[in-house]
Structure 1
């Protein structure tokens, strides 16, 4: 049994806290709102973010940051809050304690991957990344799920041993770059498949966006140092499938609303939780321009989100692009190298 602290009491943090407590660990679920954490403690349910999931006896909802002196710390905050959260928890961490980041995104402005942000802020702590097709609503209900943890081999295997259960299978991968980029960039494609659905298009359109979207993700990911085969794994095609198709997906739901003509500000307010694909679209587009990587779907997403482009015009622009040969792009992506 390990002493684990989960910092961030949203849906994913709560689900992982439940998972770890049910695995026999002593778990502190640390939030910032005293009233909310007291409510979780009394009701034994996070009714706002994870309704219907019972918090097991081994899970303590709290605001006590001193409980971050744990064997393992799971950081479960939105991507734009990672640096601030790291600075907040730093004084309480034990040197050498592994910090597992679960956010899927990149830092705006710097374009740093989140593990790079954490390495800057927490130089005395090994950093691991947890990613893959894993909706909190299903993990919290103990539905079979597979994920990947990326770090150096030793760190990744420690996390694997602590988190693996009969219903939560954890793979390891040393390709931190590829795992992080796959998890961040698939949110952009999920927004686009949602937009297509909102426009009334069907499965053919969504399959095309997912397939060509994966090509874009891999193309940029390899250019930034990721291993090409990582994008064929859980943090690439696996996470892409679940985020583009699931009713639980905030990015997909936001895309549907955009496709139906709702303004972005209204969509974000109605979703009520962070839609990571919006920030990711800006960052991915900026990187594609900087690195001169063709990413036509991402480019159209950027234009719709930030330049007011009409969604139907964006689809037409994608369909009427210059002719290309599919296998040339597959070779360019180095899938088989």
Structure 2
């Protein structure tokens, strides 16, 4: 059995894909009304409409009912991960705990695996990340992800792989974490460029310079550059910066157009930008794209001023 804590779009999609791959899956939802709706309809119309739950997916209201399988996937927003672990002693870490979120914790300035290890010392911890949209995974479209763990991840890789969900394993946890986190910030910037009508050429330039920032910070924190060139970095960056399915990209488009964005939608890149600015300042790393995204999100700078500052930076060798 595989447990999944979190019945948002991604958690539900993973439940569907793993169940279709022959696994028994237990899915926990925090909202009792959502549990009731999913049990009655066999669907998660709130987060992933139109997708039927396979018979080997059961939905639970008590988190303790999903914590005793071969692995527990923690499919919740990055900024909620630490609090969820604090509130759930049932998550005892006897089985691998796999973070299925992207970002940097605002309190500790650490990634998901470090947050897990800090609260469950000795528990096998990993992160599942990479270029993926929940709807694609749930519909059985081919998807490749990165599974990063400092332990022996071969059995976990086998457990979580299906005919349509291919996992690649790495021991560069920091690189995988930062790739998934930082690409959301760049996606906001890319969406802002498109929303402001600056064109695809400007987006390509922005993505390239944003990727350079990702590598600079990751290497400064001990990651390997080649990890950022893989699925969890470059692959995820391309997907998130070029599709309206991305919440971060859509949020950026709204910024570029000067429009309000639905406050109920989680945009991980906003919190990540705030955390990364602090992290980069502490390391003396220059991250102009991230700095501008943070300033725009906080309303500290006008869009035209942000564009002007980026375009007026000193000319130098690439």
Number of residue pairs aligned between Structure 1 and Structure 2: 317
Q: Residue in 1 aligned with 2:261?
A: 267
Q: TM-score, normalised by structure 2?
A: 0.97
Q: Which one of the candidate residues 47, 55, 71 is aligned to 2:45?
A: 47
Q: Residue in 1 aligned with 2:190?
A: 193
Q: Residue in 2 aligned with 1:113?
A: 111
Q: TM-score, normalised by structure 1?
A: 0.91
* Cα 1:183–1:166 shift into 2, 3 Å: same
Once the two structures are TM-superposed, the CA of residue 247 in structure 1 deviates from its matched residue by: 1.8
Which secondary structure does the structure 2 equivalent of 1:315 belong to? helix
Q: Residue in 1 aligned with 2:248?
A: 251
Segments of 5+ residues of structure 2 without an aligned counterpart are none
Does the 8 Å CA contact 2:12/2:44 hold for their aligned counterparts?
yes
> Equivalents in 1 of 2:73, 2:100: separation in Å?
7
Q: Residue in 2 aligned with 1:323?
A: 315
- 1:105-130 CA-partner distances (Å, limit 9, x unpaired): 11103201121111011124200100
Within 5 Å, give how 1:43-192 maps onto structure 2.
43-67=41-65, 68-93=67-92, 95-154=93-152, 156-192=153-189
Within 5 Å, give how 1:290-309 maps onto structure 2.
290-309=282-301
Once the two structures are TM-superposed, the CA of residue 153 in structure 1 deviates from its matched residue by: 4.7
Does the 8 Å CA contact 1:268/1:275 hold for their aligned counterparts?
no
Which secondary structure does the structure 2 equivalent of 1:5 belong to? strand
- 1:7-39 CA-partner distances (Å, limit 9, x unpaired): 000000000111111111111110111111111
Segments of 5+ residues of structure 1 without an aligned counterpart are 327-337
Which secondary structure does the structure 1 equivalent of 2:166 belong to? strand
- 1:240-272 CA-partner distances (Å, limit 9, x unpaired): 01111112100000000011112xxx4142xx3
Whether 1:281 and 2:273 are equivalent positions in the alignment is yes
Within 5 Å, give how 1:195-210 maps onto structure 2.
195-210=192-207
Does the 8 Å CA contact 1:198/1:255 hold for their aligned counterparts?
yes
Once the two structures are TM-superposed, the CA of residue 286 in structure 1 deviates from its matched residue by: 1.3
Q: Residue in 1 aligned with 2:220?
A: 223
> Equivalents in 1 of 2:142, 2:102: separation in Å?
21
Does the 8 Å CA contact 1:182/1:217 hold for their aligned counterparts?
yes
Runs (4+) off by over 6 Å = none
